[in-house]
Chains A and B, each alone.
Chain A
Amino acid sequence: MAEIRNYTLNFGPQHPAAHGVLRLILEMDGEVVQRADPHIGLLHRATEKLAESKPFNQSIGYMDRLDYVSMMCSEHAYVRAIEQLLEIEPPERAQWIRTLFDEITRILNHLMWVGANGLDLGAMTLFLYAFRERENLLDCYEAVSGARMHATYYRPGGVYRDLPAEMPKVAESRFRKASDVKRLNQWREGSMLDFLDAFMIDFFDRVDDYETLLTDNRIWKQRNVGIGVVSPERARQLGFTGPMLRGSGVAWDLRKKQPYAKYREVDFDIPVGVNGDCYDRYLVRIEEMRQSARICQQCIGWLRDHEGAVMSGNYKVAPPSRVEMKDDMEALIHHFKLFTEGYCVPEGETYAAVEAPKGEFGCYMISDGANKPFRVHLRAPGFAHLASMDEMARGHMLSDVVAIIGSQDIVFGEIDR
């Protein structure tokens, strides 16, 4: 009788369902996975080492490029670490803006996730709808920072500038007909907050629409229910955070348990799963979108009623205004020193974590008193999630591996760093 051996399969790194550059070595017994060995690092850019050679502020842009689907949340962790070391507190309005944009980022991330995960598992339609909504939110990114993805909007001491009083409008072009332009500009007559308000009111219905496509869909359930089950105890052991941990039934959310920015003052619920399978994680993320929209509405309400500074007045850390520089020598010197040398951060170390859409994104920073960090370590949620791939995929079919990768919400920018 011929010897029967396990078959080794190379999955990726150019596989469309590998979400970037994942290379999986799968040991197969027929179509059943015996062992999964993810090879990562193909997108390793040594962000942490680069940050050691640059003044603090120049690395904020790198944070956007870590998790390029939830840009501002990574910025938030990095900026908070610097603020903790400097012992400065951003103005209240800046904190509300950060809360607002963290939640916009969460919606952006989950939309991308639900669209891409649907695509992986054969639900094509949803991807197009999710991107329609993403477009509107990315316009808000552009309106505040000038960039649609890599915003560099959060700065130590606040945010780069205040929300725009006018939402930029869509112009007619050979790609956009007048009727489309009219429809697109319907919400854009007022300020950015008016636009966001209209969007959030509408958004609850949009999430319901997505659910009609997936939640009770037979194929969707067959692909997700009972796949990649993780018990709460194992989830803690494996370092899961975010929707992965909540999907397993642990009600842990940094926004509630260790609140930062203005999360203490907003009202929202944490959805929790029961079975810890891919389907529960899907349900958790869908509900999180609704909760995020709720938080956004509360932030919009506060921001409408309260004016104020969005950047700290400490000129050692934040630049003075152009107007001031015209006739104040001190302001000019501060500006020059800040942009040539940066600021020195007192000696010490800190760990700042935020609840990023994928889980706990942390920034561990050591300063030796210089104008550059001595060591930065970024704790990416996806790193711990992907590390559990072997355990989650073992015993499942090859096609389930795609569902598991999808439900882990993998983005290689943050895993490889």
Chain B
Amino acid sequence: MTSFSERNQPLVRRLESLLGERLVRLDQIRGQLVAQITPRNWLEACQTLRDAEELEFDTLIDLCGVDYLGYSDAEWETAQATSSGFSRGVDELGPGRFDWAHRPEAEQIPNRFSVVVHLLSTRRNHRLRLHCHPDESDFPTLPSLVDLWSSANWYEREAFDLFGIVFEGHPDLRRIMTDYGFIGHPFRKDFPLIGNVTVRYDEERRRVVYEPTEIEPRVLVPRVIRHDSRYVGDQLDRREAPNG
């Protein structure tokens, strides 16, 4: 159980009493409140957050999707390297290192996607972050929040476009960022960084043509995770800077 700072205490108490069972988890991460809610209770909980007298989250400031595929996968051996020789490179298809033809088969992991909502109350001056994992990973769906906050409209379209999360009850769930007729959901971790098609104007055919991307996938710096005590929070090596 996380401990809550004094500043957050009143809000925590109100959230716990008003949401009750619907609140799966409430954490404080870096001083900010994060609530986990199940898809089943999504609409109901949000309705309470917006309308309850003591909460009054009148603005949905942000909504975005997250794909947790490959969370905490590194490409660089940090702990065992010296005992096994000098080859540190881990042979995996990390983010940005594959093209469309060689994209990895997405494994079925539970809670792969998440919808993250940032709420703000301009009347009571507090914020809350909501996490909600849609049930199925191959066809993630979640009820739409458009009826509660109008600003959710475009944010949900964006999350649909980039992550393929379907919002039930959304009045106009079209793609928003990508090209007309785009295939795939580009911000998923199994979508190549270089994309799958390039577009150019063809002199001979006198029209715009789509072709498979020719760029080599190339990421310069490997993804490294160091569980080094010096990198852990408050143990960071703090030296005083010389003046000037």
**A interface list, Cβ under 8 A from B:** 40-41, 44, 46, 48-50, 52-55, 58, 84-88, 91, 162, 234, 236-239, 241, 245, 250, 252, 257-258, 307-309, 311-317, 321, 324, 340-344, 346-351, 353, 360, 362, 364, 366, 368-372, 374-375, 377, 379, 383-384, 386-388, 391, 416-417
With A86-B236, A314-B236 known to touch, is A54 a contact of B221 (CB < 8 Å)?
A: yes
A191 to B122 alpha-carbon distance, docked (Å): 41
User: Whole-angstrom distance between the alpha carbons of A50 and B92 in the complex?
Assistant: 19
Note all chain A residues with C-beta closer than 8 A to B186. Answer: 46, 49
B59 interface residue, CB < 8 Å from A? Answer: yes
B132-154 contact mask (Cβ, 8 Å, vs A): 1 or 0 = 00000000000000000111011
Measured CA separation A238–B223 after assembly (Å): 38
Q: Which partner residue on chain B sits nearest A251 by CB separation?
A: B122
Stretch in B8-16, B29-37, B200-208 with 4+ CB within 8 Å of A: B29-37
Q: Are B95 and A316 in contact (CB under 8 A)?
A: no
Given contacts A366-B66, A375-B66, contact A87 B234 (CB under 8 A): yes
With A257-B125, A309-B243, A312-B241 known as contacts, the answer to whether A241 contacts B61 (CB < 8 A) is yes
Contact string against A for B residues 201-234, beta-carbon threshold 8 Å, 1 for contact and 0 otherwise: 0000000000000000001011111111011111
* Further 10 A-B residue pairs, CB within 8 A, beyond A44-B177, A375-B67: A41-B178, A53-B219, A54-B221, A86-B236, A315-B237, A317-B236, A348-B30, A351-B129, A372-B221, A384-B151
Q: Nearest residue in B to A340 (C-beta to C-beta)?
A: B221
Minimum distance in angstroms from B125 CB to a CB of chain A: 5
Interface residue ranges of B82-112 to A (CB < 8 Å): 95-96
Which residues does chain B contribute within 8 Å of A417, judged by CB atoms? 177
Q: For A87, A88, A239, A372, which residue has the most chain B Cβ atoms within 10 angstroms? A: A239
State which of B149, B223, B226, B232 has its C-beta within 8 Å of the C-beta of A239.
B149
Closest to B148 in A: A237
Residues of B within 8 A of A308 (CB): 243
**Interfacial chain B residues near A366, Cβ < 8 Å:** 66
Q: How far is the CB of B124 from chain A (nearest CB, A)?
A: 11
Our count of residue pairs bridging A and B at CB distance below 8 angstroms stands at: 165
> Given A40-B176, A316-B237, A370-B225, do A236 and B187 touch, yes or no (CB 8 Å)?
no
**In the complex, which residues of chain A have a beta carbon less than 8 angstroms from the beta carbon of B230?**
316
Contact of B177 among A41, A258, A386 (CB under 8 A): A41
B54-70 Cβ-contact flags toward A at 8 Å (1 or 0): 00001111101011000
From residue B47, how far is it (CB to closest CB) to chain A in Å? 14
Residue B96 contacts which of A53, A245, A314 (CB distance < 8 angstroms)? A53
CA distance A48 to B116 in the complex (A): 15
**CA gap between A342 and B224 in the complex, in Å:** 9
With A241-B61, A348-B29, A351-B129 already in contact, the answer to whether A368 and B237 are too (CB < 8 A) is: no
Query: 3 shortest A-B CB distances, which residue pairs?
Result: A239-B151, A313-B241, A53-B96
- CA of A356 to CA of B223, assembled, Å: 31
- For residue A347, which residues in chain B have a CB less than 8 angstroms away from its CB? 72
A45 to B: closest C-beta gap in Å: 10
Q: Are B150 and A238 in contact (CB under 8 A)?
A: yes
B29 x A364 contact (CB < 8 A): no
Chain B's nearest CB lies how many Å from the CB of A52? 6
Closest beta carbon of chain A to B236's beta carbon, Å: 6
Which chain B residues border A349 with CB–CB below 8 Å?
A: 29-30, 34
If A236-B59, A344-B226, A348-B30 touch, whether A40 touches B71 (CB-CB below 8 Å) is: no
Given contacts A252-B122, A315-B239, A346-B233, contact A369 B30 (CB under 8 A): no
26 example contacts (A-B, Cβ-Cβ < 8 A) are as follows A41-B177, A46-B187, A49-B193, A53-B219, A84-B30, A239-B150, A239-B151, A245-B122, A313-B240, A314-B239, A316-B230, A316-B237, A342-B221, A346-B232, A347-B72, A362-B118, A364-B64, A366-B66, A368-B71, A368-B72, A370-B74, A370-B223, A375-B67, A383-B155, A387-B151, A417-B177
Instruction: Tell me the smallest distance from the CB of B2 to a CB of chain A, in Å.
Output: 12
Q: Contact between A53 and B177 (Cβ–Cβ < 8 Å)?
A: no
By the criterion CB–CB under 8 Å, are B61 and A370 in contact?
Answer: no
Task: State the Cβ distance, B177 to closest chain A Cβ, in Å.
Answer: 4
Q: A360-B61, A362-B61 are in contact. Are A351 and B118 (CB under 8 A)?
A: yes
Check B122–A236 contact: CB distance below 8 A: yes
Cβ–Cβ < 8 Å partners of B53 in chain A: none
CA–CA, A370 and B226, complex, Å: 7
Which of A40, A324, A364, A384 is in CB contact (< 8 Å) with B116?
Answer: A364
Task: Report Cα–Cα, A348/B28, bound state, in Å.
Answer: 10
Expressed in whole angstroms, the Cα–Cα distance for A277 and B236 within the complex equals: 50
Q: A44-B178, A351-B129 are in contact. Are A370 and B224 (CB under 8 A)?
A: yes
* A351 surroundings in chain B (CB, below 8 A): 32, 62, 118, 127, 129
Chain A hits for B72, CB < 8 A: 347, 368-370
The docked-state distance in angstroms from the alpha carbon of A86 to that of B151 is 31
Is the beta-carbon distance between B118 and A372 smaller than 8 angstroms? no
Give the Cβ gap from A382 to chain B, nearest Cβ, in Å: 11
In the complex, A1→B71 CA distance in Å? 65
| Chain A positions within 8 Å of B127 at CB level | 351
A50→B149 CA distance, assembly (Å): 30
A317 to B244, CA, bound (A): 18
Contacts of A374 in B (CB 8 A): 71
A162 to B238, CA, bound (A): 20
- Smallest distance from the beta carbon of A257 to chain B beta carbons, Å? 5
B223 surroundings in chain A (CB, below 8 A):
370-372
